């Protein structure tokens, strides 16, 4: 913005000297710049007239509305920023950190509690299980991304290896289940570990040649790997069905009991009335368990020498080598473990959709998962979970903002603004919390444990 | 003049530079044999041979750019020497050819630990975690290469506790117990130096290589460092090889000194030998051997006997 020459500090200083007039002057300046920008862009619109030629419509009302909005926003922003800076100055920085970690400690059990009871809450909230379907579906979607975020967090957050092709391992997992079940007729419970192993094997396969690279170079090679997997899936039609994908993948069973209405089905065996929602609820708890296993393993790993070596590797690779840590093996294990969880998530994806196609594994998916990890705060488990809820659940909220139509007119579809809001959220995060939502690191061990 | 910073003044010039070291120490832990390191057309180290005695503190000194850190990087596996052999002899007699080992095995198998000229801690990890990372090898084995550890078996937990105890003992020794749970990057400079030495010691080395451990320390801190290094030599089976510019450290604690200039060894002997060596003084003063006497007379050094 042109009047950005009034830096926040200068503005704040002025605001402190003479609070109200200073703020009004500053906001007025912003409104003036807005006016300058609006005159050529907004003030006149050309429409097709009745006959030939264009009709000019003037829109001065909109221009002044915009100027007023900018004035008010700038005024409030300065009021808030000034107050915040004064509060910050008064408070020791350590208090901020403690506040954030306490926030994490409170949020974690609440989030877990909601996650555990979501099907019940949805059923109660919507009236019946069937009507709560939307919420359970959304929960499954969010949890899939939470799991992917936690898996990628091992690679990016702990080991510090920037992986832009994480979705490739997700694809390997999904296609593993799709092919093994449709071609060999194996059940989901046999395929799940196999999908994880396949994905981990691909992680090692990719890792061996590229892990000598660092930073940007590693990012580019992993990006290419993600695209290679996708292109192979599109073009190797005999193997993967090409862009048509693989359909009618067998559904999940309750450890062998199918979710069908028949005699041997899940509902009949347990003496329940048949309800198609049973399968969905089961899927929900399945992904919840898978995600929690990912979390548990990550937390355990942080306390193990290998996990500490990952974090040490992120901090200083040369020092690691001087301490006798084999950096290649250490990076490979991080890559393989991260890939394995993506493989599990992938086979879950395939069993839920009953259909896979290469379209589901494009670069945007990798970007979203990476954004979840970075926004959540690299290395923070609860931060990643919250970021996943916001990034995946947030856009869903837009569907329900019907009242905006009353404001912006009937043709307004909030969903079209998804990516715009996405970008705005990113910019806001970079400005206010550049190191992610939960940026402080919890030590994996404390000296107090010596006496225990 | 750097050499004069020692506790005793420089003695008169004697003209017998290399005579004092015919074979070097009798029981060497490290034998550097005809080491040459070239970077393109530049010969950083040229045909260098020396030995580090078991249980000794050996100092490697020389003017800036003499090739000291290059020698260190060759010994600790960060560079592969162009020519020459570097052998490490452990107490039982097993010998490792350091120049043939992959980088991390120099520490893991041959048990050579090092610190760096510009400190390389893991800044965002805590002090305690820094020390535990150094115990990677024994803890890794105790955790069954993570497989048993993931399952939460008690074997790993007791091994980790032993590791924490060992780290705590080192923290006591370097006076950092109170800051054990702070991020290592937040420590003052002198504490970071000591922590880096403690971290290297946590790998149970037979040879500890310190690259300018006293750089940036004040006089009190550098005398604490002397105490720490003597303690390492006397109480552990660890020999010390150090690069240092601070002559008060070098002259007080070294059992033996090797002097490099332009990648060539110009002297090797006890601190007393080095103090009186013509070529060393010439190298530090930056003049030819023949002019040393004249320059010393000019700066008033001649005749001030130790």
Each residue's pLDDT tens digit, A309-324? 999 998 888 899 888 8
**Within a domain: A98:** no
How far apart (Å, rounded) are the C-alpha atoms in residues A342 and A229? 14
Element (H, E) at A195: helix A188-210
How far apart (Å, rounded) are the C-alpha atoms in residues A181 and A344? 15
Cβ–Cβ below 8 Å for A449 and B120: no
A443 touches chain B (CB under 8 A): yes
For residue B236, what are the CA distances in angstroms to A323, A348, B139, B230? 18, 55, 21, 10
What local confidence, expressed as pLDDT, does residue A344 receive?
A: 94
**Pairing outcome for strands A253-254 and B112-114:** unpaired
Nearest chain B residue to A444, by CA: B129
Q: Residue A393: is its pLDDT beyond 80?
A: yes
A212 touches chain B (CB under 8 A): no
Cβ–Cβ below 8 Å for B161 and A300: no
**Within a domain: A101:** no
Nearest to B140 among A306, A445, A448 (CB): A306
As a whole-number percent, the residues of chain B with pLDDT over 70 amount to: 83
B154: chain A residues, CB-CB within 8 Å: none
Residues 6+ apart with CB under 8 A from B217: B189, B190, B193, B225, B246
**Within a domain: A441:** no
Range ranked top by mean pLDDT from A406-415, B140-149, B242-251 = B242-251
For residue A345, what are the CA distances in angstroms to A166, A350, A444, B201? 12, 9, 27, 43
Are A154 and A299 members of one domain? yes
Q: Specify whether the CB–CB gap between A145 and A288 falls below 8 A.
A: no
Q: Residue A141: is its pLDDT beyond 80?
A: yes
B105: chain A residues, CB-CB within 8 Å: 324
B200 touches chain A (CB under 8 A): yes
What local confidence, expressed as pLDDT, does residue A376 receive?
A: 85
Q: Residue B139: is its pLDDT beyond 90?
A: no
The residue out of A40, A59, A90 marking a domain boundary is A90
Which of A346-360, A371-385, A436-450 shows the lowest per-residue confidence on average (mean pLDDT)? A436-450
Confidence tier at B222 by pLDDT (50, 70, 90): confident
What local confidence, expressed as pLDDT, does residue A449 receive?
A: 67
B179: chain A residues, CB-CB within 8 Å: none
For A291-297, what is the mean pLDDT? 91
For residue B297, what are the CA distances in angstroms to A144, B11, B139? 81, 12, 60
**Within a domain: A448:** no
Cβ–Cβ below 8 Å for B146 and A333: yes
For B72-101, what is the mean pLDDT? 86
End-to-end CA distance of chain B: 16
Distance from the Cα of A423 to chain B's closest Cα (Å) equals: 30
Are A84 and A137 members of one domain? no
Confidence tier at A151 by pLDDT (50, 70, 90): very high
Q: For A126, phi and psi rounded to 5 degrees?
A: -90, -10
A437 closest CA partner among A388, A392, A401: A388
Q: Residue A156: is its pLDDT beyond 60?
A: yes
Q: Residue A184: is its pLDDT beyond 60?
A: yes
What local confidence, expressed as pLDDT, does residue B7 receive?
A: 39
Best B96, B164, B195 residue to mutate vs chain A (most A CBs within 10 Å): B164
**Pairing outcome for strands B112-114 and B207-211:** parallel
Considering only residues 287 to 306 of chain A, which have any Cβ-Cβ distance to chain B shorter than 8 Å?
Answer: 297, 300-301, 303-306
Q: Residue B20: is its pLDDT beyond 60?
A: no
Q: Residue A165: is its pLDDT beyond 70?
A: yes
Nearest chain A residue to B209, by CA: A322
For A192-221, what is the mean pLDDT? 87
Which of A131-135, A239-243, B153-157 shows the lowest per-residue confidence on average (mean pLDDT)? B153-157
Instruction: Report helix angle B219-235 to B154-174, nearest 10.
Output: 130
For A184-193, what is the mean pLDDT? 87
Which of A221-225, A245-249, A355-359 shows the lowest per-residue confidence on average (mean pLDDT)? A245-249
B148 touches chain A (CB under 8 A): no
DSSP, residue by residue, A212-245: T--HHHHHHHHHHHHHHHHHHHHH-HHHH-GGG-
Residue A287: CATH number of its domain: 1.10.3470
**Within a domain: A133:** yes
Nearest chain B residue to A443, by CA: B126
Radius of gyration from C-alpha coordinates of chain B: 21
Which of A375-389, A403-417, A420-434 shows the lowest per-residue confidence on average (mean pLDDT)? A403-417
A270 CB neighbour count, 10 Å cutoff: 10
**Within a domain: A161:** yes
Cβ–Cβ below 8 Å for B116 and A315: no
Cβ–Cβ below 8 Å for B146 and A446: no
Which of A166-175, A383-392, B194-203 shows the lowest per-residue confidence on average (mean pLDDT)? A383-392
- Whose tokens are 């008690």? That residue is B154
B120 touches chain A (CB under 8 A): yes
Cβ–Cβ below 8 Å for A300 and B121: no
Nearest to A322 among B76, B123, B129 (CB): B76
How far apart (Å, rounded) are the C-alpha atoms in residues B138 and A20? 66
Distance from the Cα of A239 to chain B's closest Cα (Å) equals: 35
Q: Residue B22: is its pLDDT beyond 50?
A: no
> In this predicted model, which residue has the larger pLDDT, B252 or B296?
B252
As a whole-number percent, the residues of chain A with pLDDT over 90 amount to: 16
How far apart (Å, rounded) are the C-alpha atoms in residues A368 and A366? 5
Confidence tier at B199 by pLDDT (50, 70, 90): very high
What local confidence, expressed as pLDDT, does residue A197 receive?
A: 94
What local confidence, expressed as pLDDT, does residue A1 receive?
A: 38
Nearest to A326 among B104, B122, B123 (CB): B104
For B38-66, what is the mean pLDDT? 86
Nearest chain B residue to A327, by CA: B104
What local confidence, expressed as pLDDT, does residue A262 receive?
A: 74
Residue range of the domain that includes A44: 8-90
DSSP, residue by residue, B2-33: -GGGSSS-----BS-SSTT-SS--SSEEEEEE
> In this predicted model, which residue has the larger pLDDT, B6 or B228?
B228
**How much is the ipTM here?**
0.80
Q: What are the respective helix, strand and coil percentages of chain A, to the nearest 5?
A: 75, 5, 20
Residues 6+ apart with CB under 8 A from A371: A387, A391, A426
For B168-179, what is the mean pLDDT? 88
Dihedral of the alpha carbons of B165, B166, B172, B176, in degrees to the nearest 10: -90
Q: Specify whether the CB–CB gap between B8 and B275 falls below 8 A.
A: yes
Nearest to B120 among A297, A319, A327 (CB): A319
Q: Specify whether the CB–CB gap between A228 and A202 falls below 8 A.
A: no
B231 touches chain A (CB under 8 A): no
A452: chain B residues, CB-CB within 8 Å: 161
Q: Residue B16: is its pLDDT beyond 80?
A: no
* Burial of A5 per CB tally in 10 Å (0-12, 13-18, 19+): exposed
The two structure tokens encoding residue A193: 């570990």
Are A337 and A306 members of one domain? yes
Alpha helix locations (H) across A7-132? 8-17, 19-41, 60-90, 93-126
Q: Residue B18: is its pLDDT beyond 60?
A: no
Distance from the Cα of A125 to chain B's closest Cα (Å) equals: 39
B165: chain A residues, CB-CB within 8 Å: 450
Nearest to B128 among A300, A305, A447 (CB): A447
User: Does the predicted TM-score (pTM) go above 0.95?
Assistant: no
Are A142 and A239 members of one domain? yes
What local confidence, expressed as pLDDT, does residue A176 receive?
A: 92
B121 touches chain A (CB under 8 A): yes
Considering only residues 333 to 352 of chain A, which have any Cβ-Cβ distance to chain B shorter than 8 Å?
Answer: 333
A441: chain B residues, CB-CB within 8 Å: 124-125, 183
Cβ–Cβ below 8 Å for B150 and A297: yes
Residues 6+ apart with CB under 8 A from B207: B29, B30, B52, B88, B111, B112, B113, B238, B239, B240, B241
> In this predicted model, which residue has the larger pLDDT, A59 or A173?
A173
Are A81 and A147 members of one domain? no
Are A19 and A119 members of one domain? no
Are A301 and A157 members of one domain? yes
B278 touches chain A (CB under 8 A): no
Are A215 and A78 members of one domain? no
Residues 6+ apart with CB under 8 A from A384: A146, A149, A150, A153, A157, A372, A373, A376, A377
Cβ–Cβ below 8 Å for A322 and B105: no
Cβ–Cβ below 8 Å for A305 and B132: yes
**Within a domain: A77:** yes
A446 touches chain B (CB under 8 A): yes
The residue out of A56, A90, A124 marking a domain boundary is A90
Confidence tier at A111 by pLDDT (50, 70, 90): confident
A369 closest CA partner among A360, B91, A351: A360
Range ranked top by mean pLDDT from A26-30, A146-150, A399-403, B46-50 = A146-150
Q: ∠A253-A256-A258 over CA atoms, to 5°?
A: 45
What local confidence, expressed as pLDDT, does residue A196 receive?
A: 93
Question: How many contacts, defined by CB atoms under 8 Å, are there between A and B?
Answer: 131
Confidence tier at A170 by pLDDT (50, 70, 90): very high
Are A281 and A198 members of one domain? yes
Q: Residue A198: is its pLDDT beyond 90?
A: yes
How far apart (Å, rounded) are the C-alpha atoms in residues A329 and A334? 9
A312 touches chain B (CB under 8 A): yes
Are A264 and A395 members of one domain? yes
Average pLDDT of chain B, as a whole number: 80
B20 touches chain A (CB under 8 A): no
Which of A347-351, B87-91, B97-101 shows the lowest per-residue confidence on average (mean pLDDT)? B97-101
Are A273 and A221 members of one domain? yes
For A127-140, what is the mean pLDDT? 80
What is the number of structural domains in chain A? Answer: 2
Nearest chain A residue to B73, by CA: A322
> In this predicted model, which residue has the larger pLDDT, A235 or B154?
A235
Are A161 and A68 members of one domain? no
**Within a domain: A100:** no
Confidence tier at A150 by pLDDT (50, 70, 90): very high
- Say how far residue A438 (Cα) sits from the centre of its chain: 14
Average pLDDT of chain A, as a whole number: 81
């Amino acid at each position: 913005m042109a009047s950005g020459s009034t830096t926040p500090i200068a503005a704040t200083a002025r605001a402190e000297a003479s609070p109200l007039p200073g703020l009004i002057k500053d906001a007025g300046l912003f409104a003036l710049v807005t006016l300058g920008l609006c005159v050529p862009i907004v003030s006149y619109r050309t429409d097709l007239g009745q006959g030939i030629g264009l009709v000019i419509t003037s829109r001065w009302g909109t221009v002044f509305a915009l100027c007023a909005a900018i004035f008010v926003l700038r005024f409030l922003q300065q009021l808030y920023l000034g107050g915040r800076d004064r509060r910050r100055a008064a408070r020791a920085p350590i208090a901020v950190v403690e506040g954030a970690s306490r926030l994490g400690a409170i949020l974690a059990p609440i989030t877990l509690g909601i996650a555990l009871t979501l099907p019940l809450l949805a059923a109660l909230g919507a009236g019946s299980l069937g009507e709560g379907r939307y919420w359970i579906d959304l929960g499954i979607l969010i949890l899939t991304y939470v799991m992917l975020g936690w898996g990628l967090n091992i690679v990016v957050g702990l080991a510090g290896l920037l992986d832009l092709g994480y979705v490739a391992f997700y694809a390997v997992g999904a296609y593993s289940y799709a092919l093994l079940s449709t071609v060999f007729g194996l059940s989901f419970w046999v395929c799940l570990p196999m999908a994880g192993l396949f994905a981990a094997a691909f992680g090692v396969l990719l890792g061996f040649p590229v892990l000598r690279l660092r930073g940007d170079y590693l990012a580019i090679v992993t990006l290419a790997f993600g695209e290679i997997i996708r292109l192979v899936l599109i073009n190797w039609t005999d193997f993967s069905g090409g862009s048509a994908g693989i359909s009618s993948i067998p559904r999940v069973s309750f450890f062998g009991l199918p979710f069908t209405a028949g005699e041997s089905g899940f509902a009949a065996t347990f003496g329940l009335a048949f309800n198609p929602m049973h399968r969905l609820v089961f899927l929900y708890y399945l992904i919840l368990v898978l995600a929690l296993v990912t979390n548990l393993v990550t937390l355990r790993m942080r306390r193990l020498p290998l996990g500490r070596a990952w974090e040490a590797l992120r901090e200083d690779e040369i020092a690691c080598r001087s301490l006798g840590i084999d950096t290649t093996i250490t990076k490979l294990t991080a890559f393989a473990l991260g890939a394995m969880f993506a493989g599990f998530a992938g086979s879950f994806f395939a069993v839920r959709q009953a259909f896979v196609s290469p379209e589901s594994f494009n670069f945007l998916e990798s970007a979203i998962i990476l954004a979840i990890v970075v926004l959540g705060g690299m290395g923070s488990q609860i931060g990643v979970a919250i970021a996943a809820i916001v990034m995946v659940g947030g856009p869903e909220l837009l569907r329900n903002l019907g009242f905006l139509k009353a404001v912006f007119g009937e043709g307004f579809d909030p969903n079209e603004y998804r990516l715009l809001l996405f970008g705005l959220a990113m910019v806001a995060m970079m400005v206010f919390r550049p190191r992610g939502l939960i940026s402080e690191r919890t030590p994996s061990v404390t000296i107090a444990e010596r006496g225990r | 003049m750097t050499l004069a910073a020692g506790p005793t003044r420089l003695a008169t010039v004697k003209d017998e530079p290399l005579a004092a070291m015919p074979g070097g120490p009798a029981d060497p832990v490290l034998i550097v044999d005809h080491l040459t390191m070239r970077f393109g057309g530049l010969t950083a180290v040229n045909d260098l041979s020396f030995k580090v005695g078991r249980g000794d503190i050996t100092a490697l000194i020389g003017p800036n750019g003499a090739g000291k850190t290059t020698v260190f990087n060759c010994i600790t596996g960060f560079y592969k020497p162009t020519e020459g052999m570097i052998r490490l002899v452990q107490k039982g007699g097993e010998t490792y050819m350091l120049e043939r080992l992959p980088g991390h095995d120099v520490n893991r198998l041959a048990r050579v630990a090092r610190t760096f000229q510009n400190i390389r801690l893991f800044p965002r990890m805590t002090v305690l975690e820094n020390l535990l990372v150094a115990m990677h090898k024994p803890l890794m084995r105790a955790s069954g290469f993570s497989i048993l550890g993931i399952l939460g078996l008690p074997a790993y937990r007791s091994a980790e506790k032993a590791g924490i105890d060992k780290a705590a003992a080192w923290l006591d020794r370097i006076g950092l117990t109170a800051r054990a749970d702070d991020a290592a990057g937040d420590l003052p400079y002198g504490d970071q130096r000591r922590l880096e030495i403690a971290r290297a010691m946590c790998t149970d080395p037979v040879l500890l290589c310190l690259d300018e451990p006293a750089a940036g320390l004040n006089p009190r801190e550098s005398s604490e460092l002397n105490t720490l290094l003597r303690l390492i030599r006397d109480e552990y089976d660890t020999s010390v090889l150090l690069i240092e510019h601070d002559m008060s450290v070098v002259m007080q604690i070294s059992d033996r000194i090797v002097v490099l200039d332009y990648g060539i060894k110009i002297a090797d002997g006890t601190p007393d030998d080095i103090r009186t060596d013509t070529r060393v003084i010439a190298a530090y003063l930056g003049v030819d051997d023949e002019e040393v006497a004249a320059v010393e007379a000019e700066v008033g050094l001649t005749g001030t006997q130790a």
